[in-house]
Structure 1
Amino acid sequence: MLTTIKVLTKDLEQGMYVSALDRSWLETPFPIQGFQIENQQQIEQLRNFCTYVMVDARKSRQGESSLQSKLGKGRKRQAVSHIFKGRDLAPYRDDSNFEEEHPRAVAALDTLVEDLWQVFEQVNERGKIRAAQLKRAVEPLIGSVSRNPDACLWITRLKHHDEYSYHKALSTAIWAVTLGRELGLPRTDLRSLAMGAMLMDVGKLRIDPKVLKANRKLKPDEVREVRRHVSYGQDILNASGILNQDVVDMVAHHHERYDGSGYPAGLKGDEIPPVARVAGIVDTYGSLTSERPYARAMSPSAAIRTLYELRDIKFQAELVESFIKAIGVYPAGTLVELSSGEVGVVVAESRVRRLKPKVMLLLDDGKRSLAAPRVVDLQSEADNDEPLLIRRSLEPGAYRIDLSAIKVPGL
């Protein structure tokens, strides 16, 4: 198990082994696998790019005890098996490709949206959730993500439902299950993650919609009321007889933060149940990438960078890194400009080389619409003399591109 220490770049020394940065490796010239500091020039480079880095004490020439005494003891990295003690973890494999999985994903999500609407209506009318209905409804979703998550990730980026609450509930469920798949959690746990993610904000049904949709800064008493959605959600679960501890933990603790700055209990670190740490990550990602009354949506890749910068501050680093592995550095639905000047949208990632996803080209190098959009696999392009690369990600709506109107060729 690695011991990492957070070190300000002003305190760096030759011989230290840098294992992580305070920003994405992709924004720097440094090798993403980490490196040993061999000279003063590397230290100056790190100071130009970073405020602090994570140093692997065991790989540093100073020695673990020396670094810890000099800089203070760092947090030990945790294996996933340690984070999720007592669970049978096993890796998943892709059992279908994007094209094969797409129609099954469409059918699964269309059904789930309808069932989710009914579940929320039941809460409004009866104050209870029909748990058995929701449990059945998530099974096709679990199956699709287990086989290949790309299709569901693509669809949820394009779907725009009338109610933000429905769209976010569905999207966070997909992201939670996708992260659970990456972690190797068993199917029963994926089901719990899906249900917990969809019900995290169910308590907001008891809050005045005018407050939730306000496009102004909320008053202190309104902030307190919005925060009560956590306890309202717990009340609804209790009234519904939902005893699944993972679901309860996700509803109760999805706003707790790793540094103790969250609510309602101010839990920190390992005090937060592991599934609630997952919930906090997908809930935040969903908020950052959605249009809200008080904030514009971020691009998926910008939201990923934000989460990365918050690792071991708001969210556990190991889980943030697993989330990035699960959905990609450029998640499905990210608008990108390629090295050719062409513009496209990421359709599916490569789980081998995550900077080489499949991209559907929409605009030519002059930023004119293509008569026939086509999909290119940057993984395959890497073998060409002049391979296509992603130059940068673009903000949602760039060049007036409407993702909801896009259809993947061949589907």
Structure 2
Amino acid sequence: MLETIKIATADLEVGMFVSALDRPWLETPFMIQGFRIENRTQIARLQEFCHYVFVDTRQSKQAPEKVKRKGTVSHKRAPVTHIFHDRHLETYGDQTAFSEERPRAEEALDLLISDLCEIFEDVGRGGKINIIHLRKSVEPLIGSISRNPDACLWVARLKQHDHYSYEHALSSAIWAVALGREVGFARQDLRSLAMGGMLMDIGKLRVDPELLRAQRPLTAKESAHVQDHVSHGLKIIEESGIINPDIINMVAHHHERHDGSGYPLGTKGDRIPAVARIAAIVDTYGALTSNREYAAAISPSHAIRVLYDARDTDFQAELVEAFIRAIGVYPAGSLVELSSGEVGVVVAEYRTRRLHPKILVLLDSHKQQLATPMPRELQEQSDRAARPPVNIVRSLEPGAYGIDLARIERPDVHVTA
């Protein structure tokens, strides 16, 4: 457990590690994972946004006693890794550039989509899940996300499948592995997350499709039938001989909520298996950012805000924040409008620069399509004497200005890091 000290921003010093703010991280330009103060400019910036912050004594360069003299001992805050204290955790770094990893990610997803459709069709006909086939199919996906998540997130946004169940299963697997990578899951655990993400809604294949496609409020009886997809999924898992506890827990508990308001058991807090808490987040995010029969997709950044606002009610706060670190506020594939008036799509977002991602500009300042999309890297600093900095001013809903991401030529982006 980490000891944090509540300190007024007027008393901050260089070397202190800021682990929490007096306001939501997403309302500030600071990195959600926390940061060590390196200069007085950062202190002045913190004073613009906050009255006080929380300083982690263990990660500060100053002695804990000196930090304590500046403030008061506050809450004991557990790092996200503490949730998975019983697992072997690793540290990942980007091993490949976006342009190098993109073709590998595309190949991995093409293989997985093909195999996933085959598996779903077999189960839909009353067959069993070929777990050996599935385990083999997810390996290239895990390898790609482990090396560089941005490439896989980008390609996945372009591969829109006309069957929501397939698309949701694929995206859930991707988001789950990305979050697992952020936490530090070992490869075998990432594999379990991927398979659990793909299979957690498999029981919907045994639910009346008319209910799943309904564009009206369901009756209580109809809602109960839809919720039965959890028990149907567990039955399919059992019939297929799957005994992996992570997969079973993701299927059984992905609709439970942190405050006990979920189903089927109303389990709450730490009583929900940790991998199922991950499943709940990625299931919700995937649903919000996909077109469904009864609801249009919202922008990735809007979905991030929905998750963030549901911290400690629907979802565990530490895992929500880890998810945001894993995919960014503007994940690859997000449509955004820039302060210049131009419109582009986020291609890659180094997770230490969440507000300044790499952009592929699609429309000029008059919202006219460019003959050739133009790569651009948003800079945190710029020469103000030469020109003002260009920043993201808002995210756009999917399909804004008639933009179809699936029609965009695959970019080989070579902007510098």
Q: TM class by shorter-chain length? A: 0.7 to 0.9
Q: Decide whether aligned partners of structure 1 residues 343 and 318 sit closer, same or farther in structure 2, where only a CA change above 3 A counts.
A: same
Report how far residue 353 of structure 1 moved.
1.3
**CA distance in 2 between partners of 1:29 and 1:148 (Å):** 24
Deviation (angstroms), 1:56: 8.0
Query: How many Å apart are 1:62 and its aligned residue?
Result: 7.7
Q: Is the 8 A contact 1:382 1:388 kept in 2?
A: no
| Residue of structure 1 in register with 2:14 after alignment | none
Give the TM-score of the pair, scaled to structure 1: 0.85
Cα gap change, 1:267 to 1:54, in 2 (>3 Å): farther
Letter in 1 for 2:208: D
- Given that 2:31 and 2:354 are in contact with CA atoms closer than 8 Å, whether structure 1 keeps it comes out as no
Counterpart of 2:370? Answer: 370
For 2:214 and 2:166, the matched residues in 1 are separated by 18
Q: 5 Å matches for 1:110-259? A: 110-259=110-259
Name 2:410's counterpart in structure 1: 408
| 1:68-90 alpha-carbon deviations (Å, 9 max, x no partner) | xxxxxx7x532233211221111
1:2 Cα deviation after fit: 4.6
Deviations 1:171-196 (A, max 9, x none): 11011001111111100000000000
Partners of 2:365 and 2:392 lie apart in 1 by 13
d(CA) in 1 for partners of 2:29, 2:180: 31
Shift of 1:405: 1.0
Give the C-alpha shift of residue 166 in structure 1: 0.1
- Indicate whether 1:388 and 2:390 are aligned: yes
Between Structure 1 and Structure 2, how many residues are aligned? 384
Q: Deviations over 1:365-410 (max 9, x none)?
A: 111111111111114x734443321121122222121111112333
**Higher deviation after alignment, 138-147 or 25-34:** 25-34
Aligned to 1:106: 106
Distance 1:343 1:141, change over 3 A: same
Percent identity over paired residues: 59
CA apart distance, 1:102: 0.9
* Cα deviation, residue 260, structure 1: 1.0
CA contact (8 A) 1:77 1:318 kept: no
Change (3 A) 1:358 1:245: same
Look up the match of 2:330: 330
Question: SS state of the match for residue 239, structure 2?
Answer: helix
TM-score scaled by length of structure 2: 0.84
Deviates more, 1:191-200 or 1:358-367: 358-367
State how far apart, in whole Å, the 1-side matches of 2:22 and 2:300 are.
20
**1:289 correspondence with 2:289:** yes
Residue pair 2:102, 2:152 contacting (<8 A) in 1 also: yes
Taking the aligned partners of 1:355 and 1:334, their CA distance within structure 2 comes to 12
User: What is residue 308 of structure 2 aligned with on the other side?
Assistant: 308
Residues 10-53 of structure 1: per-residue CA shift (max 9 Å, x gap)? xx9x99x993466x43435899769xxxxxxx99x989xxxxx9
- For the Cα contact (< 8 Å) 1:122–1:130, is it kept in 2? no
Flag structure 2 segments of 5+ consecutive residues without an equivalent: 12-17, 36-45, 58-67
Counterpart of 1:326 in structure 2: which amino acid?
Answer: A
1:248-288 alpha-carbon deviations (Å, 9 max, x no partner): 01000101111111111111111111111110100010011
The amino acid that maps onto 1:98 is F
Q: Is the Cα contact below 8 Å between 2:358 and 2:377 reproduced in 1?
A: yes
Residue aligning to 1:91:
91
CA RMSD in angstroms, aligned pairs only = 3.1
Alignment partner, residue 19 of structure 1: 20
* Structure 1 gap segments, 5+ residues each: 6-11, 35-41, 48-52, 68-73
